[in-house]
Amino acid sequence: MRKKTTLADVSREAGVGVATVSRALGDHPDVSAATREKVREIARRMGYRPSIAARALRSGEFHAVSAIIPDTGWGWWEPVVHAAFEAASAAGYQLMVHPVAGAEGGVSSVIDGLTNVPTEGVIIISVPDQDGARRACDQISLPAVAIDDTSREIRFPTISSRNRAGARDVVAHLVSQGRRSVGLLRGTAGPQWGEGQFLEERAAGYRDALEDAGIAVDDRWVVDVANPFDESVTTWPELDAAIADGLEIDALFCVADLMAAPALRSLRGAGKSVPHDVAVVGFDDERAALLLDPQLTTVRQPYEAMGRLAVELLLEAIDGVAQPHVRHELDTSLVVRRSSASS
């Protein structure tokens, strides 16, 4: 992250005194319109953070960090934000939440808008345009941490779950229950989920578990769906077609909990009993896992730990501790429920 732009930097570039810059940015009437426009344009170009933030931060009366949440109804990030709020509060900081939804220009415009907010750093939660977010943060010299497992390239200090290990654990659980023909329901992430790294890692964990058990993966067991996170889907047409074509499985790993409800309906529509005929498991341990019938065996992401670590890393960065752009992966946990009961 580049050195923060100061009033003195803007003053030198504009060729006017620091006091004039301050008055121009503060809309004082004794500064001509031409000078105000010139100073403001230079300040924008140099990434100077306006005095509204600087005054609040200097006073010591208000300290805040921000969290940018995804443009989606998928609620996995809610416990992350709650934990981050508690961690920030314990350190004397407010946590402000900024949804991407509805912001013209997406995450970049949300970050640009933080120049008018007394925030000292930002937690960016699973937004697809990480390049734009990185540029926007650099432009205003704003420390940032990402909670993200969608992007292959690491652009921030990043926190995610051990997706591959978690998937291996839940599929190994199916094998331990006597399941030998384990299907995989996956899909492409789509533009709202970036590069979809988590989907690849979970699919790799599925294969790891079967190979560890000496079970050869049959490519016919792998069913890809076009819109894996479409909550309006009644059944998965691709799964319906595979079953109609003779797909024989005794278990199904859905790479995300939200995919499980249509999968259950597809299986029941084909006369398959869950879990007697086909055990079904997921990944994430969202609220959806508890609302299904039967309740879903799944992999829980460490949401609370992710939120706390994000605040910890961000506050260190605010204090000047250099944070390398690496991925901090946290352990998941297996949550066993009725959907995977022994046959």
Residues 211 and 134 in one domain: no
- Reading the block at residue 135, the tokens are 């540029």
Kindly provide the residue ranges of all beta strands, DSSP E only, lying in the chain, ordered along the sequence.
Answer: 64-69, 94-99, 122-125, 144-147, 158-161, 182-187, 222-225, 251-254, 279-281, 298-300, 327-330, 333-335
For the chain, how many structural domains are there in total? Answer: 3
Contacting residues for 78 by C-beta, under 8 A, at least 6 apart: none
Residues 236 and 201 in one domain: yes
Are 293 and 275 contacting, i.e. CB atoms less than 8 angstroms apart?
Answer: no
- Amino acid letter for position 46: M
The CATH number for 3's domain is: 1.10.260.40
Residues 117 and 28 in one domain: no
| Ranges of residues in the chain whose predicted pLDDT is under 50 | 1, 51-53, 57
The parent domain of residue 44 ranges over 1-48
- Amino acid letter for position 258: L
Q: Convert 152-181 into a string of H (helix), E (strand) and C (coil).
A: CCCCCCEEEECHHHHHHHHHHHHHHCCCCC
Residues 14 and 104 in one domain: no
> What sections of 47-118 are H helices per DSSP?
51-59, 78-90, 106-113
Residues 65 and 197 in one domain: no
Residues 167 and 296 in one domain: yes
Which pLDDT belongs to residue 100?
A: 81
Residues 22 and 129 in one domain: no
Residues 167 and 156 in one domain: no
Residues 85 and 115 in one domain: yes
Residues 91 and 185 in one domain: no
The CATH number for 194's domain is: 3.40.50.2300
Which pLDDT belongs to residue 51?
A: 47
Residues 117 and 156 in one domain: yes
What are 95-151's pLDDT values in tens digits? 999 888 666 677 888 888 887 778 889 999 988 778 888 998 988 889 999 999 888
Model-wide pTM > 0.75: yes
Residues 255 and 313 in one domain: no
